[in-house]
Amino acid sequence: MDDHALVLNAGSSSLKFSVYRQPEAKSWQVDARGQIEGIGSSPRLSVKDDEGRVLADQKLDAISDGRAAVSALAIWLRARYAGAQLLGIGHRVVHGGARFSTPIQVTRQVLDELYGLVPLAPLHQPYNLAAISAVFEHMPDVPQVACFDTGFHRNHAAVAKVIPLPRDLCKAELQRYGFHGLSYEYIASALPREAPEIAMGRVIVAHLGNGASLCALKEGRSVDSTMAFTALDGLCMGTRPGAIDPGALLYLVQSLKLSGKDLETVLYKQSGLLGISGISHDMRVLLTHTEPEARLAIDYFVYRVAKEIGALAAVLGGIDGLVFTAGIGQNSPEIRQRICEASRWLGIELDAEANRGKGSRISTPRSKVSAWMIDTNEELMIARHTATVLGLR
């Protein structure tokens, strides 16, 4: 077996991983990709190789948390890669705060500092960090690299970063960061190959998954994003509301007497598509429902994306291309069509047939602004960063 590097994306109930072979040439090749799902309920390990052949698909004994999942994964890795060296592990870490923006090798002190950011990303950060901590425990000799979802946005101008609250409350930390940076960085790196005519232009990328945001790219660099201090701002998401009147939050606290913890639960877990519909957070499920509440949830999702596209088009001074990615962006022709129709005024003319096909360009040849669908690959971005930080080639 070749020496390899591992990429981990740890969530609340799943641990996703990819194993990359050390390249002879420049690009890292996937050797295996899989996940442990059902952490805390009925855990299952499933792994496939690069060609989709099943390498493992089995129930696991009780796995109570992310630490236990890393331990189970370590056992599987030792068996499959016996005799080979694990050169490093790259992690997706959602929030790097004001201090960490570029990928960094994690020490125990760095880990402690990252734990301080948990209140800014309670849905993701604790699980990302539990995986790092478990690697320290189960594979202490393997170097680890943290790659931040905030990092790609670090060069935003001051006006795109500021939060207009009193200066002494803001200090250094309270600023707009932006998220989904690993996805946007990958898309920016793929544009010269997938959509060369817009790669150096003004592009809006719509990362539409359970979490959803837009990024304004100019010459491949992020200039603004709809997410901000936390991953709550901007678009309507599966269970998060996106931008709302801050007065609504005051009302929840002062009149309805919600505690800080209650408010956190409402904002991260009960709002968005789930909150509006009362049916599901999942776009695929909502698209099969005809109840008015389900329709309103989808209508609001589309309305909000279109509205924010207009806002970022203003930031960019017009756009050359619109790119859809992530679960909804890559898989739902209906949602892409509705967003493109609402953005027709910008000069986007959708090609209905291309939108239902597998190609990346989904606008007509005469469309003034082109539209695209490009699969994201955050894992590859993490593998590239990990290789660079650890000097692997």
| Near ligand ADP by CB under 6 A: residue from 331, 337, 360, 364 | 331
3-state secondary structure (DSSP) of residue 304: helix
Number of residues that bind ligand ADP (CB under 6 A): 13
Stretch binding ligand ADP (CB under 6 A), from 31-39, 106-114, 209-217, 348-356 = 209-217
CB of 176 or CB of 281, closer to ligand ADP: 281
209 lies in the site for ligand ADP, by CB under 6 A: yes
Residue nearest to ligand ADP (CB): 327
Distance of CA 346 to the CA centre of its chain: 26
| Near ligand ADP by CB under 6 A: residue from 262, 282, 349, 375 | 282
- Cα–Cα distance measured from residue 247 to residue 245, given in angstroms and rounded to the nearest whole number: 5
Pair 380, 186: CB distance under 8 Å: yes
Stretch binding ligand ADP (CB under 6 A), from 22-30, 75-83, 213-221, 280-288 = 280-288
CB of 35 or CB of 367, closer to ligand ADP: 35
Question: What Å distances lie between residue 182 and 9, 63, 146, 153, 326, CA to CA?
Answer: 12, 28, 12, 10, 12
**For residue 49, what are its two tokens?**
């190789």
181 lies in the site for ligand ADP, by CB under 6 A: no
What end-to-end distance do the CA atoms of the chain give, in Å? Answer: 17
242 lies in the site for ligand ADP, by CB under 6 A: no
In the complex, minimum distance from the CB of residue 185 to ligand ADP, in angstroms, rounded to a whole number: 16
| Near ligand ADP by CB under 6 A: residue from 78, 284, 344, 368 | 284
CB of 13 or CB of 85, closer to ligand ADP: 13
Query: For 265, phi and psi rounded to 5 degrees?
Result: -65, -45
Residues with Cβ < 8 Å from 200, sequence gap 6 or more? 219, 220
CB of 258 or CB of 287, closer to ligand ADP: 287
CB of 203 or CB of 326, closer to ligand ADP: 326
Pair 223, 315: CB distance under 8 Å: yes
In the complex, minimum distance from the CB of residue 77 to ligand ADP, in angstroms, rounded to a whole number: 23
**For residue 381, what are its two tokens?**
């971005």
Q: Can you spell out the DSSP letters for 113-177? A: HHHTTGGGSTTTHHHHHHHHHHHHHH-TTS-EEEEETTGGGTT--HHHH---S-HHHHTTTSS--
In the complex, minimum distance from the CB of residue 329 to ligand ADP, in angstroms, rounded to a whole number: 8
Q: Tell me if residue 168 is catalytic.
A: no
| Site for ligand ADP, residues 221 to 240, rule: CB under 6 A | 238
In the complex, minimum distance from the CB of residue 254 to ligand ADP, in angstroms, rounded to a whole number: 32
Catalytic option among 2, 3, 149, 351: 149
211 lies in the site for ligand ADP, by CB under 6 A: yes
210 lies in the site for ligand ADP, by CB under 6 A: yes
Kindly provide the b/e burial profile for residues 359-379, where b requires at least 16 CB atoms within 10 angstroms of the residue's own CB: ebbbbbeebebbbbbbebbbb
Please report, as ranges, the residues that interact with ligand ADP according to CB under 6 A: 209-211, 238, 282-284, 287, 326-328, 331-332
Q: What amino acid positions are annotated as catalytic residues?
A: 149
